[in-house]
Amino acid sequence: MPHLLQIKQSEQLATLPNSGLSAIAPELLIQHRPDAHWALVEGDRLLAHCSLWWRQVPVVRAGLIGHYGAIDCAAAEELLHHAGRELATNGCNFAIAPIDGNTWRRYRAVCDRGSEPLFFLEPDNPAEWCEQFQAAGFAAIAHYYSAVNLDLSQQDSRLARIAARFAERVQIRSIDPAQLEAELDAIYQLSLISFQHNFLYTPIDRAEFLAQYRQVVPFLKPELVLMAEQDGQLVGFLFALPDLLEAKRGAIDTVIIKTVAVLPGREFAGLGSLLVARAQAIAQALGYTRAIHALMHETNRSLNLSRRYAVPMRRYCLFGRSI
């Protein structure tokens, strides 16, 4: 019979069975500090696991389920129902999954894969995940999209007017690798302001933010990371990088526009469009032929901006249920 184990220390992960599902990496328990981690075990097989958060969450009385994996639908249903009971015991009346503690980390599940291959830094999951959540009573509460622009020569008809409006007061330049720590710190400060009204937003501490960005620094092309400044202060940025998974397949034609952020307010309306247009023009000059606009929430301005150039290629869902 399957039985549930609560893992209270990362070292205990080594005692789990090494057949069936792989246990999560011990460093994730240390870095992400879940309020609980549970494993479903049967004999010498690990059937499912997940972490729970209920103390520091973006929505009052909502608990989060992340670090998720399950070997089949039966194991998933047992684990997810147990997770719901644990969250309810700790004061929650709603569960959200999959999300590894906050939206700065891995979250959402691929639910419509399309025909495009996985791109660099894109989260992936088994196709069964969506069925597993739905079988356990979850329903989609948010949708996200990635889109692909197959023609980098396209021009937004509004661009000349937008560029003229910002010409005298906003300077756009590439990131300076020689000042990387200061550049990343400015990006961090702007991100906290720009994303604060995003769905399920919670702030992230500076150390974790910088650690995430440092992981991709070796893969950067500085020309593709744009900094928009007014009077020496960062007011917008665009973070793009080559699709290195495509490179492993024998070609590199694609850049990934991963993040676009601009200070809120009418003063900087249109700056995001200008940054995307500049990034795509630079990518074309560097020899790229395609751009992926990555992981956009269905209500974000970035999705409306993307529609001027790109067509959806992948859809992701975040799930929730009352408990």
Q: How far apart are CA 289 and CA 269, in angstroms?
A: 28
∠ CA 14-65-205 to the nearest 5 degrees? 85
Question: For the chain, where are the E strands, in sequence order?
Answer: 3-6, 19-20, 36-42, 45-53, 62-70, 94-97, 109-112, 139-149, 171-174, 225-230, 233-242, 254-262, 290-297, 311-322
Domain hosting residue 253, numbered range:
148-317
CA torsion, ordered 154, 160, 161, 162, to nearest 10 deg:
70
Residues 39 and 100 in one domain: yes
Residues 157 and 282 in one domain: yes
Q: How far apart are CA 318 and CA 323, in angstroms?
A: 16
For residue 225, being part of any structural domain is answered with: yes
Residues 172 and 303 in one domain: yes
DSSP assignment letter at 102? S
pLDDT tens for 81-101 read: 999 999 999 999 999 999 999
- What pLDDT was estimated at residue 80? 98
Tokens 């010498």 belong to which residue?
44
Residues 223 and 183 in one domain: yes
Q: Compute φ and ψ for 262, nearest 5 degrees.
A: -140, 145
pLDDT higher at 53 or 158? 53
Residues 21 and 61 in one domain: yes
CB proximity list for 178: less than 8 A, separation 6 or greater: none
Give the domain-ending residue among 142, 159, 178.
142
CB proximity list for 133: less than 8 A, separation 6 or greater: 76, 80, 97, 98, 109, 319
Residues 246 and 106 in one domain: no
Give the domain-ending residue among 142, 158, 179.
142
Query: What DSSP element (H or E) covers 247?
Result: helix 244-248
Residues 300 and 152 in one domain: yes
CATH number of the domain residue 49 falls in? 3.40.630.30
pLDDT tens for 137-187 read: 999 999 999 999 999 998 887 888 999 999 989 999 999 999 999 999 999
Give exposure, 140-160, as e/b (b: 16+ Cβ within 10 Å): bebbbbbbbbeebeeebeebe
Give the domain-ending residue among 142, 165, 195.
142
**Residue 16 tokens, joined:** 């789990």
Residues 171 and 242 in one domain: yes
Residues 161 and 137 in one domain: no
Average pLDDT over residues 184-207: 96
Report pTM. Answer: 0.94
- What pLDDT was estimated at residue 229? 98
- What pLDDT was estimated at residue 159? 86
For residue 226, being part of any structural domain is answered with: yes
> What percent of the chain stands above pLDDT 90?
91
Check pLDDT > 80 for residue 33.
yes
For residue 241, being part of any structural domain is answered with: yes
pLDDT tens for 300-316 read: 777 677 888 899 999 99
Residues 169 and 284 in one domain: yes
Average pLDDT over residues 280-299: 96
The model's confidence at residue 299, banded by pLDDT at 50, 70 and 90, is confident
Q: How far apart are CA 262 and CA 234, in angstroms?
A: 9
For residue 322, being part of any structural domain is answered with: no
Task: Give how many domains the chain has, as a whole number.
Answer: 2
For residue 323, being part of any structural domain is answered with: no
- What pLDDT was estimated at residue 114? 96
For residue 273, being part of any structural domain is answered with: yes
Query: What DSSP element (H or E) covers 211?
Result: helix 206-216
Residues 152 and 137 in one domain: no
Q: How far apart are CA 164 and CA 162, in angstroms?
A: 5
Residues 157 and 54 in one domain: no
Average pLDDT over residues 43-51: 97
* Average pLDDT over all residues of the chain: 95
- What pLDDT was estimated at residue 307? 80
